[in-house]
Structure formats: structure tokens, C-alpha cells
A = this chain, B = another copy of it.
Amino acid sequence: MSDTPSSPRRRTTYRHGDLRNALLEAGIALARAGGPDAVVLREATRQAGVVPNAAYRHFANRDDLLQAVRSYALSQVARAMEAELAGLDPAAGALRWAQDSVRAIGTGYLRFAHAEPGLFKTAFSSHEGVEGDNDPTRAGDSGMNPFQLLSMALNRLADAGGLPPERRLGAEYLAWSAVHGLALLLSEGPLHGMPEPQRMMIGQRLLDMVEKGL
């Protein structure tokens, strides 16, 4: 009971053994609790039970650690989307399925933003090109990252005739804009404390708008 921060588990060996991982875990915990700004190097090392500078053997600097945390957060977003997709019935007709897929992506995004506001904020704190990268640490079980999952859903929609080809290009950004914007309003914006039912309702309304307007 002589540990102050959280899990500084007095280590007996000079070597930590798994420091990079411990720092990442700590960083994730910090991000979860307080968003990207809460990911503070010194606190992470404290939780890992090492001296501050030890972190520099595993991360170039604070931002490097933050990016690692962000990758994790992105993979969690992907998983949230995949979880929604998994509940769909492909036999419900190609168009319906495609539309539901797009909605599932949006719903997963919004759900995650609500369930894990800190990680959500971290995931998109510095949205550097996630589009064309195949970093598996940012992907879900499907191997796709959030952006790629959205693209896939939009492809389904286009293939099913639910989205005219001339409007397919860049559709990711339109859909993403809408959902991301709402997620922000709900998680840290003026729609903050909105109760669950209304939250779900406005989310669905927004997805209606996207579906109709895309």
C-alpha cells in the first residue's frame, strides 16, 4: 500500500521486462480517463514504476507514445464498428443490407464515442491519414481500420445501387463529416449530457440525413 499513483508494482529486477507495453497500457488508461491531453509521459512512467527518462528507450517522445495510444484507440473504433456489422443479416436483400452496413458503421462510431469519450477523442485528435495505411495496430479483427470499414460499406451501397456511381467518389468524407461532427457535439459539445434515448434518436436522424442526401 505504499504506491500512490496506480499500479507502480515495486519491481525488484533492474530490467522491467515489458516496459514498452506497460507504458502503452498506462497511456491508454490515461487517455481513456482524460483524452489525449491526459497522456502524460511522466505519469505513465510513474505507473510503470520507472524513472521518467526510461520512457525514451521505447518512445521517441511524448507524441510518439500518444500516437501509439491513438493507434490502439483507432483499433477499438474499428472493433466497435465490426460489432455493429456483425449483427446484420446479409439475407435481408442486397440494398437493405448495404444501407444497414453504412448505418452500422455510423452507429458503431457514435456508440464508441459515447462509451469511450477519452479514447474517442484521442483516436481523432490528430487525424493523420488513416485512409491508405495498413498498420494492423489501427485495425480491428477484420484487418480494416475505421476509414476502410466505411469505404467497404459505401462500396456495398454503390454495388447494390443505393448510391449512384458519380456520387461514390469522396462519399466517405461526406458521411464521415456528418457522423464525426455529431459525435463531437454529443461527446464534448453542447449535446453533452443528452439522455440515451434522445441520443440514439438524433443519431438515427443524422444517419437518415446521410442516407437520403448522400
A-side residues, CB < 8 A to B, are 126-131, 170, 173-174, 176-182, 184-185, 188-191, 202, 205-206, 208-214
The 6 closest A-B pairs by CB, nearest first: A213-B213, A181-B181, A177-B181, A209-B213, A177-B182, A212-B213
- A128–B185 CA distance with the chains assembled, in angstroms: 10
A61 to B189, CA, bound (A): 22
With beta carbons under 8 angstroms apart, the residue of B174, B180, B189 that contacts A206 is B174
Q: Known: A181-B184, A182-B173. Contact between A209 and B205, CB under 8 A? A: no
Minimum Cβ distance to chain B for residue A78 (Å): 16
Known: A126-B188, A177-B178, A208-B213. 16 other contacts (CB 8 A): A127-B189, A173-B191, A174-B178, A174-B205, A174-B206, A174-B209, A176-B181, A178-B178, A178-B181, A180-B181, A180-B185, A181-B181, A181-B184, A184-B184, A209-B214, A212-B212
Please indicate the chain B residues that have their CB under 8 angstroms from the CB of A174 in the complex: 178, 182, 202, 205-206, 209
Pick 8 A–B contacts, CB within 8 A, sort by A. A127-B188, A130-B190, A131-B190, A173-B182, A174-B178, A178-B178, A180-B184, A210-B213
Residue among A131, A170, A176, A209 having the largest count of chain B Cβ atoms under 10 Å:
A209
Specify how many copies of this chain sit in the oligomer. 2
Provide the bound-state CA to CA distance between A174 and B127, in Å.
Answer: 22
**Which residues of chain B are near A181, meaning CB under 8 Å?**
176-182, 184
Least Cβ distance of A188 to chain B in Å? 7
Instruction: Output the least CB separation between A185 and chain B (Å).
Output: 6
A184 and chain B: residue at smallest CB distance: B180
A214 to B178, CA, bound (A): 12
User: Per a CB cutoff under 8 Å, which of B127, B208, B210, B214 touches A190?
Assistant: B127
- Roughly how many angstroms separate A78 CA and B33 CA in the complex, as a whole number? 34
Q: Which residues of B contact A173 (CB under 8 A)?
A: 182, 185, 191, 202
CA distance A188 to B180 in the complex (A): 13
